Structure 1
């Protein structure tokens, strides 16, 4: 090979490595933005927008989704964190920190001459064994009255005892069966209000006021109608109104609409929840009849109210049904309250499915937002623990699993073993960061924890962030949901592999789809 060919090949290698280094630096920057929040001694981050609005938070996914990130690799990490939050509701910081470690360690191996394909092969082998080991060490959590339930909430809730108590009470009110429902999220029951008192109650909150002050403020033993539509007469085109037949049809529709409203009143309905707008005629008739009406209710709140009260959502055309048929669509609640100060309607003691609401309050808007995020994390963790069991926290499990993954290296031939080393390093990264945030030397303390786990044959040993001593996380009540660990590691592996597979970055030209492309003529 000539000197010119060697130089050309070397330049190509350097160009590909430069792309890897650029992506690696972007991922590391994202990880460094959240790693300081990890663990009980983690600190808060202040996010400031161009208008001077401030958000102070310790929540990883909030930091990631609100921070300005223009690099494509950085956005990939943020999307993975968002997916982790959507799926599990917690563990985004752990996933991001491990992803940063995997990518950084992987790029270092590639820079030393290990082919990317071999690094990825080692990633897959190591992560596969790690996921198996996490599943093997998971302990079931079936009894919602067990003290471990509160410990899970307390750890995820950053040691806020009042929030942990609220979330546990809500979980017990709802019950295990509901928590196992894949379509239900306990975190969705969290509502935050500035100046509100912390409480949990069996019911739902509608974040809207009644249409006017003449409507009653409190009703008991209430029949409830949920209209998944606008409460307005059927429309008729303007052109048709100019004809005699069209005007006659208009009058007919108006009369029919008034008759439908009267049917709602005659059924003894006390509360009407409407997805969209309410016509003036309906407002007037229902107000005169002493019916509470709330319009433009969020679809999520509408569904929860229907589920809790046993109501069946109906369209406005369905109001043509007979009173006997309409009766079947009504739900029932023990009490409905209009809270003027909070501008909400509370629907309590519904006769449908159990539905608890966690109301979190604080003195200021900034603090109440953070308390709501903490409560959502705690709620998500309890639900994940019920679904998939619990494991020792504080980085203890990941450290123990790293020892299992090290054994995989012995059975792997060739350079893929270096990819396994990257997984070992990533698994130890959460504990290292927790220790560093607590003010201790990570290298020293991880060595102590590894030795203690091996000597005592206990996977639950880790570092006490107050004293620096090695303690049993299970006995100390530091517990995490197994699903959080599984999804965090899986997400970290996916993003790391995706980043390492990119060896060229090319800027796209502006692209507009040609007319007619994408569908058959």
Structure 2
């Protein structure tokens, strides 16, 4: 076969193709589990386990993370959805579909006789070119008053107005500078509970209750101390010295003591008598957030033995602390440190509130991503326009890598095809119609109105997506698809042979 290395024995080639086909089928099955959720007309999936737990969602990463997945290649694709969620908080279904399509198109080229290495190299070149063009086409967002932010929140929030309003209010409360910080995620500000009303406030919620319930649940004008590690005397410390540490806290008028680990009984008794609220077992992340918001400086157990004057410099402050025991969290309001906002989402049942929390997190992540990187036309329009650019680029690529570039161009049709199919229209007909009109008008924003099936400008309709969401989805899809295409055979480990490998082909 033309382009195939003649030194490869036919039987070995057949085995390699068999493994490749099996992997492609497994990946295709994973994509089919989430493809029906994409777009404004996407439907929900009901997940049920053996214990009767029910989750109703159209969130791709939730579906994939809860599915029972046996095939290793399928698990690789499911993992990119998790990576997409961790990186940008949205676009997990798109990343999954693009990965599946790249694998599928790559296998087609291999079946034509193109060497796998050439296909992989071409896919990487095509994706690299598409990512560069994607950045060039993006519309930047310079301030929080940009009207596109609300449209992005509305689209990512499944067109739920109350969620859109909450996310936008939180965005303004936190501010652009905080939203641009690398490690800050607005989506982490979302907390849901079935017995609360929608609300937003300038402060934090800690998923913990106070350790000493005899202390009042509400405190105002609170000095805050944040202790890393455990709070206990230690093997080399006299009880009298440790009691002096506790007396220093009392003299400093500490109102809230936040401890990363455990608090010794002797400390809990003394602090309770002084009406100091103690919150323990917070964990590193929550302790850091508390310190950042209240302006407290983290101090370890050894640092507590400093003088009262030195300890006063590590204290933080917030206007109010309230332990809402029935809801299982502590609310901190208006700290003097960095701004934080908490979005409180409620619903009627556990099943519904879980999905509303996921939707709100998606909307918050999408808004933050748009602030960081700008936006592109949604509805698959941007990917379809990129497909045209990649097709032109293919003509400049010499050698068999051009077939891999062609696989990228074909895969970029997939998002719009799936959105159109989920809306009940013929994807082949509609995508070709949009593609022709995009070329005729030299427009990168034409797509399909999923209500009427007509072609409209997605930007004019307000249907846009953040650049980082699309960028990372394509980037992650490239990484996992090329990794799967490189697998030429599957070797199963034999658990009875002392960890040795047994080849079963």
The normalised TM-score by structure 2 is 0.94
Cα drift, residue 371 of structure 1: 1.2
Mapped to 2, the partners of 1:119 and 1:343 lie a distance apart of 53
Aligned twin of 2:272: 287
Mapped to 1, the partners of 2:234 and 2:120 lie a distance apart of 61
Aligned twin of 1:412: 397
Q: Contact 1:385–1:482 at 8 Å: present in 2 too?
A: yes
Larger radius of gyration: 1
Aligned twin of 1:347: 332
Cα drift, residue 465 of structure 1: 0.7
Cα drift, residue 467 of structure 1: 0.9
Mapped to 1, the partners of 2:326 and 2:9 lie a distance apart of 72
Are 1:432 and 2:432 an aligned pair?
A: no
Aligned twin of 2:491: 506
Q: Contact 1:99–1:495 at 8 Å: present in 2 too?
A: yes
Cα drift, residue 399 of structure 1: 0.5
Are 1:338 and 2:323 an aligned pair?
A: yes
Deviates more, 1:103-112 or 1:113-122: 113-122
Aligned twin of 1:25: 25
Q: Contact 1:101–1:426 at 8 Å: present in 2 too?
A: yes
Q: Kindly tell me: are residues 451 and 221 of structure 1, through their superposed partners in 2, closer, same or farther at Cα, counting changes over 3 Å?
A: same
Mapped to 1, the partners of 2:14 and 2:327 lie a distance apart of 61
Are 1:50 and 2:50 an aligned pair?
A: yes
Q: Contact 1:205–1:301 at 8 Å: present in 2 too?
A: no
Mapped to 2, the partners of 1:43 and 1:235 lie a distance apart of 60
Deviates more, 1:124-133 or 1:382-391: 124-133
SS of corresponding position for 2:77: helix
Aligned twin of 2:503: none
Aligned twin of 2:449: 464
Aligned twin of 1:171: 171
Q: Kindly tell me: are residues 320 and 484 of structure 1, through their superposed partners in 2, closer, same or farther at Cα, counting changes over 3 Å?
A: same
Aligned twin of 2:9: 9
Aligned twin of 1:244: none
Cα drift, residue 509 of structure 1: 3.7
Aligned twin of 1:398: 383
| 1:93-139: CA deviation from partner (whole Å, max 9, x where unpaired) | 11110111111111122112222122223212321221111011001
**Aligned pairs (5 A) from 1:10-409:** 10-235=10-235, 253-409=238-394
Unaligned runs of at least 5 residues, structure 1: 1-5, 237-251, 515-521
Cα drift, residue 415 of structure 1: 3.2
Mapped to 2, the partners of 1:120 and 1:343 lie a distance apart of 51
Mapped to 2, the partners of 1:119 and 1:320 lie a distance apart of 64
Mapped to 2, the partners of 1:437 and 1:513 lie a distance apart of 47
| 1:359-406: CA deviation from partner (whole Å, max 9, x where unpaired) | 111111111111111111111111111111111111010011111011
Mapped to 2, the partners of 1:127 and 1:188 lie a distance apart of 31
Cα drift, residue 494 of structure 1: 1.3
Unaligned runs of at least 5 residues, structure 2: 1-5, 501-505
Cα drift, residue 416 of structure 1: 2.7
Aligned twin of 1:519: none
Aligned twin of 2:3: none
Mapped to 2, the partners of 1:167 and 1:501 lie a distance apart of 42
Mapped to 1, the partners of 2:16 and 2:307 lie a distance apart of 72
Mapped to 2, the partners of 1:214 and 1:413 lie a distance apart of 77
